[in-house]
Amino acid sequence: MSRSVVHCGVVTDAATCHGGPGSGERGRPGGPDGGGVRTLAPPFVAAGPSGVAIRTRFKGLTPEDETVLRAVGAHLGSLTSRDLKTRCADGAEHDAERWAARKRGLTAESSARWARSLTQASHDQWALARRCQQAHVESFEAGVRTLERRLALPLGEKGTGRTPGGYRSRTEWFHKSRRLGMLKDRLAAVRADRDTGTVHVVRGGRRLLNGRHYLDKAGLPVEGWQERWEAGRSFLQADGESGKKLGNETIRVTPEGEVSIRLPTPLAALTNAAHGRYVLSAQAAFAHRGADVAVDPAYTSKWGAQHWRQPMTAPHREVSRHDAASIAVGRRALGHPIRRRTAPPPHDRSDRAGHRTVQTEPETPGREEPRHPGPEHAHDARPRTGPRTRATSASNTVRDAHRTRRWVQNPLLDTVQER
């Protein structure tokens, strides 16, 4: 089941594409299994992907549009802050009944669909904080283990490989011992929060919150900081719903780019369309491709692992079978063969050290003939059209200097001597 996503008023239509067998590229007779391969379907252009989030900006908003967007964002943002506080207070004891109670409390001040989006966003934020909390605990534990191990080593002991040795001096050892005590205290506090399900979340960002005390150093006026703070705490997003036309019931985007928003109940006076909706004057334009290429995935896992897994593996990164298959799929979509280019025989033209990477088709003419040697000229060399007009230049060394005498050896020794 596909799920379309609406982020900041952006919706994509859901579509599912599959590639099937058909007439297309013919496989080589000698496959990796030693037998023939089945007929591969040719790549074809498919419809757009489903379940994607695409960001865009509105241009040409009227003052009325800006007023409505700010009002909706501020109202839903305040409800989200209140709901997130309730969710964090429940901690690990939160269940389905508490979730339903939160939705009922928010429905009266927004709508049933907005209440669903608000509670889902609060739960996602709490879950993200829990994952970060667990990562924080693991980081503290790793630091404690490292300090304890190095403090137990003698001073000045050298490390081995990637393992550090002891500390260089007594002073450094003393400071690291105090650092160890501080990390243990912080680790105990974070573990206590983790066991009780307590998380610390700041809507709008902790960095922006702490920056309120250093506006002079940052060169930011109070009005500018307040505008950023309100924008960071506003809420105007909704997840797509399966089977709903143009996204969902809260935010809709037509293929022509028209955006309409279902306003919360307290802001019903700002509607300009039927069913409590407000249609923006500006249209949304998406800068993305409208189609994808679907390929037949036959043999991509096997051939990708055979031809691309080992060449793409680095000392610090091991390519998985799935990664190699993705390379094979991409090459097939671009019209390139999956196999790498042919490697020359290691010793001579025979296959005594192993078969070639790619074998020639049996019906290929001239496959058994020897390769005719050709002149070794540069690829951009121009042919000579007339006789040579310049003599050979003289050599700069004695060994290669041009000789004018001819040396001849007599095969018979002259033994006659004059007396």
Which range, of 19-23, 79-83, 326-330, 400-404, averages the lowest pLDDT? 19-23
What is the per-residue pLDDT for 347?
64
What is the per-residue pLDDT for 391?
59
Q: pLDDT-derived band of residue 58, with 50, 70 and 90 as boundaries?
A: confident
Q: pLDDT-derived band of residue 159, with 50, 70 and 90 as boundaries?
A: confident
Q: Which has more pLDDT, 303 or 384?
A: 303
What is the per-residue pLDDT for 27?
46
Above 80 in pLDDT, residue 145?
Answer: yes
Which range, of 39-43, 221-225, 266-270, 360-364, averages the lowest pLDDT? 360-364
Q: pLDDT-derived band of residue 3, with 50, 70 and 90 as boundaries?
A: very low
Alpha helices per DSSP H over 111-163: 112-152
Share of the chain above pLDDT 70, in %: 69
**pTM of the entire predicted model:** 0.56
What is the per-residue pLDDT for 25?
44
What is the per-residue pLDDT for 77?
93
**5 within 8 A of 242, measured Cβ to Cβ:** no
Distances (CA, A) of 350 to 28, 87, 364, 370: 21, 73, 18, 12
What is the per-residue pLDDT for 190?
94
Q: What angle do CA 279, 283, 285 make, to 5 degrees?
A: 145
Q: pLDDT-derived band of residue 31, with 50, 70 and 90 as boundaries?
A: very low
Contacts 24+ apart (CB under 8 A), 90-94: 90/197, 91/196, 91/197, 91/198, 92/196, 92/197, 93/197
Which range, of 18-32, 316-330, 334-348, averages the lowest pLDDT? 18-32
Mean pLDDT, the chain, integer: 78
Above 80 in pLDDT, residue 87?
Answer: yes
Above 80 in pLDDT, residue 143?
Answer: yes
Q: pLDDT-derived band of residue 278, with 50, 70 and 90 as boundaries?
A: very high
Average confidence (pLDDT) over 243-254: 81
Above 50 in pLDDT, residue 16?
Answer: no
Q: Token digits for 266?
A: 């307290």
Average confidence (pLDDT) over 89-97: 87
Above 70 in pLDDT, residue 394?
Answer: no
Which range, of 149-163, 259-273, 397-411, averages the lowest pLDDT? 397-411
Which amino acid is located at 4 in the chain?
A: S
Average confidence (pLDDT) over 107-114: 90
Q: Which has more pLDDT, 7 or 146?
A: 146
Q: Token digits for 156?
A: 């000045």
Q: Hey, where are the domains in the chain?
A: 63-239
Above 90 in pLDDT, residue 180?
Answer: yes
Average confidence (pLDDT) over 394-406: 57
Q: Token digits for 107?
A: 């429905």
The DSSP bridge partners found for residue 5 are 239
Rounded distance between C-alpha atoms, residue 131 and residue 230, angstroms:
26
What is the per-residue pLDDT for 385?
66
What is the per-residue pLDDT for 53?
67
3-class SS at 281? strand
Of 205, 194, 200, nearest to 134 by C-alpha is: 194
Q: pLDDT-derived band of residue 167, with 50, 70 and 90 as boundaries?
A: very high
What is the per-residue pLDDT for 23?
34
What is the per-residue pLDDT for 13?
35
Above 80 in pLDDT, residue 274?
Answer: yes
3-class SS at 81? helix
